[in-house]
Amino acid sequence: MSVIACRSITDVIEFAIDREKNALDFYLQCMNRAKNPGVRTFFQEMAEEEASHMKLLMDIDLSANPDFTPAAADDPGLSDYMIDVGFRPEISYQEALVMAMKKEEKAHAFYAAWKDRCGSGHTHRVFTFLAAEEKKHKEKIETLYDGEILQWD
């Protein structure tokens, strides 16, 4: 993993792209190793989500003074009550959801912690935006978990 440099907004965005690439690679490895076809599909969808994050970051036009206003989010907070799950080829769909949820929770916490460490202005707004994107992704997984696992009764 690369080391974050706060010298410029470009450094921050390149660092974030690298993190998204690592997440993409992780989900692709999980997809290729998972035995359950439904779980493989879930990991493929997660990889596609990470690829869309990379594209979003790569397409930022810094000369246009981009707006990094984070989208509003409604955090169900399910991941707060779950423990980390490690990958194994026989991972269940429920375990895969928890693993992804916790991964996104950690990404959100990472970006939220860095928003004040790299100064202010653009870098602060970028980290706030990235934290919100990760939180939004975590919430999407929590909603899946709520609808597909908790609502089975």
| Domain ranges across the chain | 9-150
Both tokens of residue 112? 């939220």
Q: Report d(CA 59, CA 36) in Å as an integer.
A: 35
Q: Report d(CA 19, CA 4) in Å as an integer.
A: 10
Architecture of domain 9-150: Up-down Bundle (1.20)
The pTM score is 0.83
Q: pLDDT truncated to tens, each residue of the chain (153 aa)?
A: 456 666 677 888 888 899 999 999 999 999 999 999 999 999 999 999 999 989 988 988 766 665 656 556 566 678 888 899 999 999 999 999 999 999 999 999 988 888 877 766 777 788 888 888 899 889 999 999 998 888 765
